[in-house]
């Protein structure tokens, strides 16, 4: 819910979330240490972030390109 609140309040814009998504995807692909200790609630946070980013992508695609240029 925090991601939606930050977006709705215009604290973080769509392009910042897109940059964050790209960076996190790269980290997840390279972060495969089998000896790493599991972080409490990390999976839950990742799922929630992914749900928000998926929603944001679909909302952006539905609205189409901006005419604000």
Range of the domain at 52: 1-22+41-58
More confidently predicted of 66 and 12 = 12
Q: Is residue 34 part of a domain?
A: no
User: pTM of the predicted model, to two decimals?
Assistant: 0.56
14 in any annotated domain = yes
Maximum CA extent, the chain: 49
Q: Which of 1, 4, 16 is nearest to 59 (CA)?
A: 4
66 lies in a domain?
no
Q: Classify residue 29: in a domain, yes or no.
A: no
At 45 the pLDDT is 80
Residue 54 maps to a domain: yes
CA atoms within 13 A on the CB side of 17: 22
pLDDT in tens, 46-56: 788 888 888 88
Q: Which pLDDT tens digit goes with each residue over 19-59? A: 888 877 666 655 566 676 767 787 788 788 888 888 888 87
The answer as to whether 33 is a domain residue is no
Is 13 part of a structural domain of the chain? yes
The total domain count for the chain is 1
Q: Is the distance from CB of 53 to CB of 19 less than 8 angstroms?
A: no
């Amino acid at each position: 819910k925090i991601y939606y609140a930050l977006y709705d309040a215009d604290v973080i814009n769509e392009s910042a979330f897109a940059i964050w998504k790209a960076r996190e995807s790269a980290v997840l692909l390279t972060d495969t240490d089998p000896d790493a200790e599991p972080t409490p609630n990390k999976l839950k946070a990742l799922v929630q972030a992914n749900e928000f980013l998926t929603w944001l992508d679909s909302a952006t695609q539905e609205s189409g390109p901006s005419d604000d240029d």
